[in-house]
């Protein structure tokens, strides 16, 4: 959603009951962020105000649903641009249902949460980032042979969320390329860091240079080097 665009201040989310039973659902806004490993973390709406929350700029309605089998209903999220923070903010619309299941004569209730992430961008945002560290990590255990991965940590130093596509090049000291390994995508909110790993292929003994790059959609591509000796 865009603060400066009047046509982009309201969003519609469609909720459909795909089960064969009537479903009741609670609808609410929540805050969220990501841990350094990329996993989502959830918080009550407004508790992350000043560090990403869109409260009180967003409202959602209705806040309760009753859907017959196959029925569909629209949820509306409205942005009050006058209450939006000056920087990009993010929250989520969460639909929560309780689904009972019979198992081995016992009745178990599952709490099912479905979330739609919402980003609100201010008129001026910029993508920027850098690779903080590149390091070799030992993945082996006492019951497994020695295995190693390269871990790359990306820091979002810009003012908008980014999805960065990365690559790790394994090079020799003479700059010839041994192998190119795609890195998992990085998902980083403003000011956040996200670490990703890629397993190292078997390499002969010798000296190598690891070149990690991240294309985050900005004017430059973040890059970092690591010298590594394979013993």
3-class secondary structure per residue, 51-85: CCCCCCCEEEECCEEEECCCCEEEEEEEECHHHCC
Residues in the chain: 231
Query: Residue 1 falls within a domain, yes or no?
Result: no
- Is the confidence at residue 149, as pLDDT, over 60? yes
Query: Residue 34 falls within a domain, yes or no?
Result: yes
pTM greater than 0.75 (yes/no):
yes
Average pLDDT of 91-116?
Answer: 90
Task: Check whether residue 167 and residue 216 sit in a common domain.
Answer: yes
Task: Check whether residue 109 and residue 135 sit in a common domain.
Answer: no
User: Which range marks the domain in which residue 133 is found?
Assistant: 129-230
* Number of compact structural domains in the chain: 2
Query: Residue 205 falls within a domain, yes or no?
Result: yes
Instruction: List beta partners, residue 85.
Output: none
pLDDT category, 6, cuts 50, 70, 90?
confident
Query: Residue 144 falls within a domain, yes or no?
Result: yes
Task: Check whether residue 104 and residue 20 sit in a common domain.
Answer: yes
Domain boundary among 120, 152, 182: 120
- Is the confidence at residue 144, as pLDDT, over 70? no
- Is the confidence at residue 142, as pLDDT, over 60? no
pLDDT at 145: 62
Task: Check whether residue 22 and residue 113 sit in a common domain.
Answer: yes
pLDDT category, 192, cuts 50, 70, 90?
very high
Q: How far apart are the first and last CA of the chain?
A: 52
Task: Check whether residue 163 and residue 205 sit in a common domain.
Answer: yes
Asked if 210 and 170 count as a contact pair (C-beta separation under 8 A), the reply is yes
Domain boundary among 79, 96, 120: 120
Query: Residue 69 falls within a domain, yes or no?
Result: yes
Task: Check whether residue 114 and residue 218 sit in a common domain.
Answer: no
Domain boundary among 63, 96, 120: 120
Cis peptide before 4 (omega within 30 of 0): no
Task: Check whether residue 134 and residue 104 sit in a common domain.
Answer: no
CA 161 to chain CA mean position, Å? 9
Task: Check whether residue 133 and residue 110 sit in a common domain.
Answer: no
CATH number for the domain harbouring residue 63: 2.60.40.10
């Amino acid at each position: 959603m865009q603060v400066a665009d009047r046509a982009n201040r309201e969003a519609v989310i469609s909720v459909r009951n795909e089960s064969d039973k009537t479903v009741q659902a609670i609808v609410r806004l929540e805050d969220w962020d990501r841990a350094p490993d990329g996993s989502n973390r959830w918080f009550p709406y407004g508790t992350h105000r000043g560090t990403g929350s869109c409260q009180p700029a967003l409202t959602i309605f209705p806040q309760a649903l009753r859907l017959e089998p196959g029925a569909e209903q629209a949820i509306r999220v409205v942005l009050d641009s006058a209450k939006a923070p000056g920087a990009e903010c993010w929250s989520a619309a969460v639909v929560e249902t309780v689904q009972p299941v019979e198992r081995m004569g016992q009745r178990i209730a599952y709490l099912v949460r479905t979330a739609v992430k919402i980003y609100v961008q201010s008129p001026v945002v910029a993508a920027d980032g850098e690779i903080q560290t590149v390091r070799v990590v030992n993945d082996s255990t006492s019951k497994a042979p020695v295995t190693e991965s390269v871990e790359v940590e990306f820091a979002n130093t810009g003012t908008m969320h980014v999805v960065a596509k990365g690559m790790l090049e394994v090079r020799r000291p003479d700059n010839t390329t041994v192998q190119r390994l795609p890195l998992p995508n990085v998902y980083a909110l403003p000011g956040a860091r996200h670490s990703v790993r890629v397993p190292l292929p078997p390499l002969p003994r010798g000296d190598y240079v690891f070149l990690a790059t991240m294309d985050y959609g900005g004017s430059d591509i973040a890059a970092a080097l690591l010298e590594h000796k394979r013993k």
